[in-house]
């Protein structure tokens, strides 16, 4: 039985098809005081697979409620799928000047706090392309990353000209390589990135000659769009061919989409880990295979 938070309904439907599992009709209510209630009255099964993109605090709450509901009906196994794990990027204490340190008095490690809470209601966790795979160590139950980046090759045109797959920083180079491998042609490289603030980044171009080449810029996540905008703006200064922007998690917070458009981005492709207009491809087949492995 698949149960979805309000944030993962399309992916849950696709996953139900892939796994040939029933899809519960979850009801979402909110009360005048702002409290929420996600419930699945009349549904029960030995195994509950809860699909929850925790893009908001409300989604975290819905997840905890659905886990509790499944335990209440007596599910023998509860599997939690976090297509997008919110707070995963806060995997260190965000104390001013101490970002790289493992602990700082008075500061939480938010990814750990969230992982511990999620662990209380589940037997197993799968999360798609977390910012760092090490975030899985924060859970108190078996947790595994699922690499679905290869699916981003699907919506790309078949006729890319001498393509180069660029990541905005070295950390995302493996994602660019995965997309290149899935596409079956092209080279990879990365930009040098330095983050100035939550919404500002400074970047230097890669050495790769991109003249007249189609470029696919690939990252794990587009949040404020600052990283991608800066990368594309640098590319626009050169005689590149077409530029495609792809990311596993198209969070696109606040004014990110217009920021990208102003930077000259025409095409953004993301997956349905975060359900947006640009979610051109589903991670359901990859997640289904991981659940059954």
- Six token digits for residue 216: 């696919």
The answer to whether the CB of 145 falls within 8 A of the CB of 136 is yes
Angle at which helices 57-73 and 110-119 pack, to 10 degrees? 20
The torsion angles phi and psi of 231, rounded to 5 degrees, stand at -60, -45
Give the interface segment with ligand R5P, choosing from 113-121, 134-142, 221-229, 264-272 (CB under 6 A).
221-229
Give the position of tokens 């697979």: 49
Neighbours of 276 (CB within 10 A): 18
The yes or no reply on residue 91 touching ligand R5P (CB under 6 A) is: no
The yes or no reply on residue 225 touching ligand R5P (CB under 6 A) is: yes
Task: Give the number of residues in contact with ligand R5P, rule: CB under 6 A.
Answer: 14
Spatial neighbors of 126 by CB under 8 A, at least 6 apart, are 79, 80, 81, 82, 143, 144, 145, 146, 287, 290, 291
Q: Cα separation of 43 and 242, whole Å? A: 49
The yes or no reply on residue 181 touching ligand R5P (CB under 6 A) is: no
Which residue from 125, 136, 217, 223 is in contact with ligand R5P, where contact means CB under 6 A? 223
For residues 45 and 220, which CB has a smaller minimum distance to ligand R5P in the complex?
220
Q: Cα separation of 63 and 187, whole Å? A: 40
The yes or no reply on residue 227 touching ligand R5P (CB under 6 A) is: yes
The yes or no reply on residue 121 touching ligand R5P (CB under 6 A) is: no
Binding marks (x or -) toward ligand R5P, 135..174, rule CB under 6 A?
Answer: ---------------------------------xx-xx--
For residues 68 and 169, which CB has a smaller minimum distance to ligand R5P in the complex?
169
- Smallest separation, CB 276 to ligand R5P (Å): 13
- Smallest separation, CB 201 to ligand R5P (Å): 6
For residues 93 and 168, which CB has a smaller minimum distance to ligand R5P in the complex?
168
Binding marks (x or -) toward ligand R5P, 188..207, rule CB under 6 A?
Answer: -------------x------
SS3 content of the chain, % helix, strand, coil (to 5): 30, 25, 45
Which residue from 220, 231, 268, 269 is in contact with ligand R5P, where contact means CB under 6 A? 220
The yes or no reply on residue 231 touching ligand R5P (CB under 6 A) is: no
Alpha helices, DSSP H, located in 243-292? 256-262, 284-292
The answer to whether the CB of 176 falls within 8 A of the CB of 187 is no
The yes or no reply on residue 17 touching ligand R5P (CB under 6 A) is: no
Candidates 55, 52, 96, 97; CA nearest to 70 is 52
Per the residue annotation, which of 60, 92, 193, 259 is the catalytic one? Answer: 193
For residues 158 and 196, which CB has a smaller minimum distance to ligand R5P in the complex?
196
Residue 92 a catalytic site member: no
CA atoms within 13 A on the CB side of 169: 14
The yes or no reply on residue 233 touching ligand R5P (CB under 6 A) is: no
Taking the CA atoms of 165, 169, 174 and 178 in sequence, report the sign of the dihedral they define.
Answer: negative
Give me the active site residues, please: 193
- The residues that touch ligand R5P, with contacts defined as CB under 6 A, are 168-169, 171-172, 201, 219-227
């Amino acid at each position: 039985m698949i149960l979805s938070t309000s944030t993962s309904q399309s992916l849950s439907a696709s996953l139900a098809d892939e796994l040939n599992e029933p899809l519960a009709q979850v009801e979402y209510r909110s009360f005048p005081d702002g409290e929420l209630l996600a419930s699945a009255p009349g549904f029960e099964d030995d195994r509950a697979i809860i699909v929850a993109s925790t893009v908001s605090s409300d989604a975290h709450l819905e997840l905890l409620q659905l886990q509790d509901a499944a335990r209440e009906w007596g599910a023998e196994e509860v599997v939690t799928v976090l297509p997008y794990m919110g707070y995963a990027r806060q995997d260190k204490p965000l104390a001013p000047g101490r970002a790289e340190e493992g602990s700082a008095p008075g500061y939480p490690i938010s990814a750990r706090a969230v992982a511990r809470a999620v662990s209380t209601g589940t037997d197993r966790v799968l999360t798609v392309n977390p910012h760092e795979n090490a975030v899985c160590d924060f859970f108190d139950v078996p947790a595994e990353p699922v690499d679905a980046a290869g699916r981003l090759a699907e919506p790309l045109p078949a006729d890319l000209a001498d393509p180069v797959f660029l990541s905005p920083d070295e950390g995302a180079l493996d994602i660019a390589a995965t997309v290149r491998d899935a596409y079956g042609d092209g080279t990879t490289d990365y930009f040098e990135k330095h983050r100035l603030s939550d919404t500002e980044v400074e970047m230097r171009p890669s050495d790769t000659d991109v003249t007249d080449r189609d470029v696919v810029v690939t990252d794990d996540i587009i949040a404020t769009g600052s990283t991608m905008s800066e990368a594309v703006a640098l590319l626009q200064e050169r005689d590149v061919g077409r530029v495609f922007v792809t990311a596993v998690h198209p969070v696109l917070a606040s004014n990110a989409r217009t920021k990208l458009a102003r930077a000259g981005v025409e095409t953004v492709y993301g997956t349905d880990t975060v359900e947006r207009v640009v979610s051109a491809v589903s991670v359901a087949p990859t997640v289904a295979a991981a659940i059954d492995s």
